[in-house]
């Protein structure tokens, strides 16, 4: 039973660290770019878009479809960076614990 008590204590500590990590990530802003930096998107750690910057040279009627594609690409670039950051932070919280593939934390 002593081992169970220690396991529960470790689980509580990990849960506390995960809550801190989530709060920290919600404050982080990450930028993604597309079109050689002509479109830039900034999102927070929860993938909420905070800023969108578009080079004025893309603002022509003929380039609307290109602009739309670049916005999507820039958002996806930023989101990929946030996911990599979250994975890195999760490894710190779990202390290198080998969790099963596909296990989504927090639960």
Return the CATH number of the domain spanning residue range 28-89. Answer: 3.30.1310.10
Tens-place pLDDT, residues 23-71: 887 888 999 999 999 999 999 988 889 999 999 998 888 888 999 999 9
| Beta strand extents in 1-107 (DSSP E only) | 29-34, 39-44, 49-54
SS3 14: helix
Q: What is the pLDDT of residue 96?
A: 59
Q: Give residue 90's pLDDT band: very low, low, confident or very high (50, 70, 90).
A: confident
**Segment 91-104 mean pLDDT:** 63
| Domain coordinates in residue numbering, the chain | 28-89
Q: What is the pLDDT of residue 102?
A: 57
pTM: 0.67
């Amino acid at each position: 039973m002593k081992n169970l008590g220690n396991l529960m204590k470790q689980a509580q500590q990990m849960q506390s660290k995960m809550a801190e990590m989530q709060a920290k990530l919600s404050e982080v802003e990450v930028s993604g770019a597309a079109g050689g930096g002509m479109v830039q998107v900034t999102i927070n750690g929860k993938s909420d878009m905070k800023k969108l910057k578009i080079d004025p040279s893309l603002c022509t009627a003929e380039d609307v479809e290109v602009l739309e594609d670049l916005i999507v690409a820039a958002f996806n670039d930023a989101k990929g960076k946030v996911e990599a950051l979250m994975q890195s932070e999760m490894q710190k919280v779990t202390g290198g614990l080998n969790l099963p593939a596909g296990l989504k934390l927090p639960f």
